[in-house]
Structure 1
């Protein structure tokens, strides 16, 4: 034993307080149904993402939704609208007077129920001077909450999301995005509001729509429903015709895709959305690169080639009648004719237009030379 033992250290080390997990017995939870603003598509208290390339009317689509929320008008798929409610818009790319107000007018919105949150006003830290800046996430969720409650909102639109993220948020870092969006999701739940955030598509080569939105995958991960807008497959060269297709659906089945086109209003100087009904394609279909061979294999083109191969040169009126019986619209039939390279010949009295495949020898003895289909029908 050492003659000079070390003194005993009687310092008391405080242990960290013990943590307890919050446990909820599921038998104590009262089940609830999802409360829909637009049944099957826009849900109260949930986050939604709307993706698409510039110029296809994403913002105009959200204005159309806002108009239906404020007036209770039926939804584009024919479902009944709800009781009129308020809408909050956070739009940092479009002017209120020359873009947003005319679009709301064109869509028939109740303007008294729509407010735009344009900036955040307060006092600059340290200086005490008045400060004014754009709304930011997650910094200003308390201001957003107040705005939603003030107008009894059923819909909040943030357009685009990337412009509203605080400078400290890395939009491509999953952890940053989830921390930025979590307070917004809580506000959506507390205020019972459907929140729609708008993004541009990236130029990636993935044909899976869920991976094509800008920023981290955590953005679509935080959303309960996601949508993509892309050019309509019937008119891929027409920037004014598009399809709204589901990208993600966690709380319902995937909704049917809806076609629409933009109609210009000369008096108001803007466009509004006119819906066309359901379209048989998915978001992945819309973003998948379309080769000439793929375009030639669409169902209507295949039907038309088969018909002409069986019947040979055929009067257009007969083809149109057969197509109608097969459930094919004339406009769709004409587009298929162009894709198939159909040649047309107009002859006789009264004049009759005949269609034939380019590989089929002309049977007409009229001396008229078959020509490629014109861009516009006769």
Structure 2
């Protein structure tokens, strides 16, 4: 018997014949179109709220990172035409949680689609996922959380069971040029590096082209930070903060000077922003000062520009233009 009949035929790809493809971005360098992005963090840290804010902007054709008087990502984010989004949740109710959040974020809910899986649970291998992308022409697909869409028989800690699932969603993202975001929880290993705190097999992170971690600042509970811990297609982006306030709601703040490992381990949480706030209280206690002078003094003390602006926002420092100069002063 000739066993060679069952062996695959050799096919070679000559790199000379491969065309270079340009990467398009939903948000550069955090979320690419045509690829898989993972957003992970501990429960209650604002992952879903942040993603729903992104969805709301996309459905209105508005710039995703907006809402600050200081550029959040200078020249790196832009408005698109309004797009359709598929959002699947295995944890929150559509009517009592998801839609109220979308409405609060200003979303056009007619552009947000959900696959009805009441009769049969949806999985990452489900043919309905591809059918929905084709039918809606969605530019963004969100599965929240990852664990809810693996399938009952899949062990999330086994690489050989996770790889085909991740390959499947990666193929869908590339085939239909949509961004796919998988939202995941973190494990309890507080001493581990950020790249090893995602639940389940490391193959989740290995297969994703971009991985973001969301965490809260210990001494500033309303401040949450998004840290870029993996970027296969561009340089890693700087950490970005947003505020979740029970009265004011969601607001992007801007770049934030903290690493993912510091954010998750508790080391230096809020120390840099705290030092910048104390500096501003000290230098402005006697009255207003020119913004240029404040910036020069801050730089001499090793306080970065973005950290200074974050502290300004937190203290709600007033800016007044006198003549050709801006002056900062503490609020009354």
2:18 to 23, 29, 32: 29
Shift of 1:201: 1.1
Residues in 2 aligned to 1:277 and 1:153: alpha-carbon distance in whole angstroms:
28
The runs of 5 or more residues in structure 2 that have no matched partner are 66-71, 316-330
Shift of 1:303: 10
2:112 match: 114
2:60 match: 71
1:276 aligns with 2:265: no
1:134 match: 121
1:301 match: 275
The alignment partner of 2:13 has SS state of coil
Aligned positions of 1:241-252 closer than 5 A: 241-252=223-234
Residues in 2 aligned to 1:47 and 1:206: alpha-carbon distance in whole angstroms:
27
1:125 match: none
Q: Any idea what the Cα deviations from partners look like across 1:59-83, whole Å, max 9, x if unmatched?
A: 1111111112222211213521222
1:259 to 241, 248, 256: 241
Q: Any idea what the Cα deviations from partners look like across 1:10-39, whole Å, max 9, x if unmatched?
A: xxx233315322211111111110121223
Shift of 1:334: 12
1:193 aligns with 2:193: no
Contact kept, 8 Å, 1:55 with 1:239, in 2: the verdict is no
1:48 aligns with 2:54: no
Shift of 1:211: 0.8
The runs of 5 or more residues in structure 1 that have no matched partner are 1-12, 121-131, 266-270, 309-313, 337-376
Residues in 1 aligned to 2:82 and 2:22: alpha-carbon distance in whole angstroms:
21
Residues in 2 aligned to 1:319 and 1:303: alpha-carbon distance in whole angstroms:
16
So what's the TM-score if we normalise by structure 2? 0.79
Work out which of the two has the higher radius of gyration on C-alpha atoms and give 1 or 2. Answer: 1
Q: 1:96 to 1:320 in 2, by over 3 A?
A: same
Number of residues of Structure 1 aligned to a counterpart in Structure 2: 296
Residues in 2 aligned to 1:204 and 1:214: alpha-carbon distance in whole angstroms:
10
**As a proportion of its length, which structure holds more helix?**
2
Across the aligned residues of Structure 1 and Structure 2, the Cα RMSD in angstroms comes to 3.1
Aligned positions of 1:74-89 closer than 5 A: 74-76=63-65, 77=72, 79-89=77-87
Residues in 1 aligned to 2:231 and 2:4: alpha-carbon distance in whole angstroms:
43
Q: 1:317 to 1:88 in 2, by over 3 A?
A: same
2:4 to 7, 16, 20: 16
1:169 match: 154
The alignment partner of 1:100 has SS state of helix
So what's the TM-score if we normalise by structure 1? 0.70
Residues in 2 aligned to 1:118 and 1:253: alpha-carbon distance in whole angstroms:
38
The alignment partner of 2:188 has SS state of coil
1:326 aligns with 2:294: no
Q: 1:255 to 1:35 in 2, by over 3 A?
A: same
Contact kept, 8 Å, 1:323 with 1:333, in 2: the verdict is no
